[in-house]
Amino acid sequence: MPPAKPKSTVVVRNLTHQDIPSVRSLVERVYPDEDTYTISMMVGQINRFPEGQFVVLIDGDIVGYAATFRITESQAFKPHDWVGITGNGHLSRHDENGDWLYGMEVCVDPNRRRLKIGNRLYNARMQLCQELQLKGILFGGRMPGYDRKRKLYPNPADYLQAVIDNKIKDSVISFHRRMGFEPSGVLENYSPTDTPSGGHATLMVWKNHDYTEPEASGVIGRVNRDLVRIVSVQKQARTITHVDEFFSALDYFVGVAADYKGDFVLFPELFSLELLSCEAEVAPDVAIARMTEYTDRFVQHMSQLAVRCNINIIGGSHPTKTDDGDIQNVGYVFLRDGSVQMQEKLHPTPDEKYWWSIQGGDEINVIQTDCGPIGVMICYDSEFPEIGRRLADQGAQILFVPYCTDTRQGHLRVKYCCQARAIENQLFVATSGMVGNLKNVANIDINYAQSAIYTPSDFTFARDGIAAEATENAEMVIVADVDLSNLRHARAQGEVRNLKDRRLDLYNVKWKEPRK
C-alpha cells in the first residue's frame, strides 16, 4: 500500500512586509495585462491598516491576497471609482473611525483554484468586521460577463438585474452572492481597465447582523493618546583638536535627549564634517573623500549609543562611499533595537555636485520604527513635494529633515517647504539645522538655522503650526510631544482633509520601482 500523501497546510494570516515580493508576483500572475501593486502601495496598506490585509499560504507559498480598509458610510455609498476610493492603492482613504470595511482587492493564484482560497479571504474579512463591531463590508465587484452581453443590455444596471433574476449567469457576481453579499447598484466607470466588465462594477454589500449602534458615552474628545517625544539638536559647528571631541559631544546630546525621555533625537545634515576641523584644510573633493573614511566609526558609535540610551537617533547625514565608488549624502537612522537604516539624499544641491561631486540616490521609502513608520528627507529633498507625498502614502506620520544652510534665504526655503509638507500631507515634520562656523572646512564655513517641529494647521494642533522652535543661530535643544491620534482625527474630520480630497481622477505621481 503506497504511503499516504501528506496533507497540505493552509494558513490565513495578516500580510507582512516580508510578503510583499511574493504578493506582487501573485498579482502579476492573476492580472498579467495590468500593472501590479508597487512596493510603495503595499507598504502603505500595511502601515495604515495592518489587521485588514490578509494572505493565504499553502505549504508556505502565498496563493491568495486581500486588501481592506475602513471607511465611513457616507463615503462608501457615494458614487466612486477604484482609484479615488482606495487612494490609488495606498489606502490613503482609510479612516480609523470608519463604520464599514471596504474591500480593495482579492486575488487568488490561478493555479490553485477550487481550494476555497477566496472563501477563506472573505471569511477573514467577515471575522474582522465582527471583531471590530462594524456595520458590514462593501466593495466594487467585477461583472466580467457584461462585455459579452453589452448589446443585449446597454445599461449595466439592466445586466445586473438580469443576473439577479437568474436570466443570465455571471460567475463573479454569483460567487459574491454565495458568500452572502448582495448588489446595491452599479458603480459606473469604476475600473476602466477592466474590459470584460465594461469598466463598471457592482457595489456588493454584506451586513453584519451582530452590529448594534454604540451608546453615546457623553465623553467629549478622544481618549486614544499616541504621544511621541521628539528632540531636535541645533548643533554648533566647532573647531576640534581631536576626533574624540566630536563623538564626546554626540554622547552628551543623545544623553540629554534620553534624560528627557525622547523617542527620537534628530541631528543636522552633514554635522559630521566637524571631524575635518582637526585636520589641515584641503580641497573640497579631497575633504569629502576623507570624510567617507570615518563612516564605519560613525555608524558603529551611533548605533551603540542608540541602544545604550534607548532612543532612536536620526543621525543627520554623513558622506558615504557606495559600492560603485560614488559618494552620496546619506542619512542614517539608528534604532534603539540596534538596527541601522539608511536614506540617500535624492537631490544634491548644485554646490554639493560641483564642489564635492555628490551623487543623488534613487530610492526613498518609509522606515519602520517602534513609534510607527517615519520618513527622512535630507534638506533639499524637502523642497520637492513628490517625496513627502510618497512617504505619506506609505504611511509615514512623522518626517525628519536634517538640513544645512549657509544663509537666511536657504533656511527659509527649507522652513516654508517643511511647513507645506506638514499641511498638505497632514503629518508632523521635525527639522534640525547646524549653526556656527568652520573656517578650515571648505564649503561649510558659515551656517544659518532655526530648527523646529512643525504640525498641520488645524484646531487640534499648535496655533501657528509650530510645536517647538529654536532661537536663530544659537546652539540649543528643542523638545515637543506630538500626538499621532491628532493626525488621524485631522485626516478624518479636520477643517480640510488634504489626503482624502486629492483629485486622483485628474492627477497622480508614478514612481519608478527599484530594479529587482
- Which pLDDT value is given to residue 278? 87
Give mean pLDDT, residues 382-400.
Answer: 96
Distance CA(222)–CA(485), nearest Å, equals 8
User: What cell does 198 get?
Assistant: 465594461
Question: In 10 A of CB 90, how many CB atoms?
Answer: 27
Instruction: Give 382's contacts (C-beta < 8 A, 6+ positions apart).
Output: 388, 399, 401, 403, 414, 417, 418, 421, 429
Which residue's entry shows cell 564634517? Answer: 273
CB 141 within 8 A of CB 201: yes
DSSP state of 286: H
Worst-scoring range by mean pLDDT, 129-133, 213-217, 468-472?
213-217
Q: Is the pLDDT of residue 6 over 70?
A: no
pLDDT of residue 45: 93
Q: How far is CA 219 from CA 74, 222, 223, 431, 460, in A?
A: 24, 8, 9, 36, 17
Number of residues written out for the chain: 516
In the chain, CATH 3.40.630.30 covers 10-207
Percentage of the chain lying above the pLDDT 90 cut: 74
Average pLDDT, the chain: 91
Q: The sheet that has 182-187: what strands, in order across it?
A: 10-14, 54-58, 61-71, 100-108, 136-141, 201-207, 182-187
Three-state SS at 488: helix
pLDDT at 442: 76
- DSSP letters along 130-153, please? HHTT-SEEEEEE--TTTGGGTTT-
**Rg of the chain on CA atoms, in Å:** 26
The DSSP secondary structure of 75-104, one letter per residue, reads HHTS---HHHHHTTTT-TT--TT-SEEEEE
Helix locations, 238-317, DSSP H: 243-259, 284-292, 295-309
pLDDT at residue 5, rounded to an integer: 52
Q: Which residues are catalytically annotated?
A: 269, 345, 379
What superfamily does domain 10-207 belong to in CATH? Gcn5-related N-acetyltransferase (GNAT) (3.40.630.30)
Question: Residue 515 pLDDT more than 50?
Answer: yes
d(CA 133, CA 515): 42
The pLDDT of residue 222 is 29
Predicted local confidence at residue 219, as pLDDT: 39
> CATH 3.60.110.10 in the chain, residues?
227-500
Contacts of 240 (CB under 8 A, 6+ apart): 246, 274, 275, 277, 278
CA angle at 350 for the pair 346 and 355, rounded to the nearest 5° = 105
pLDDT exceeds cutoff 50 at 359: yes
DSSP assignment of 365-431, as one string? --B--TT--EEE--GGGGG-HHHHHHHHHTT-SEEEEEE-BSSHHHHHHHHHHHHHHHHHHTSEEEE
Whose CA is closest to 432, among 269, 246, 247, 305? Answer: 269
Query: Which pLDDT belongs to residue 438?
Result: 83
Q: How does pLDDT run across 307-350, given as a tens digit for each residue?
A: 999 999 999 999 999 888 899 999 999 999 999 999 999 999 99
Task: Evaluate whether the domain defined by 227-500 bears CATH number 3.90.1010.10.
Answer: no
Kindly tell me if the per-residue pLDDT of 109 is higher than 60.
Answer: yes
Q: How does pLDDT run across 222-233, given as a tens digit for each residue?
A: 233 489 999 999
The yes-or-no verdict on residue 4 having pLDDT over 70 is no
Contact present, 70 and 94 (Cβ < 8 Å):
yes
156-164 helix and 171-178 helix, angle to the nearest 10 degrees: 50
The answer to whether the beta carbons of residues 23 and 15 sit under 8 Å apart is yes
Average pLDDT of the residues in 489-507: 87
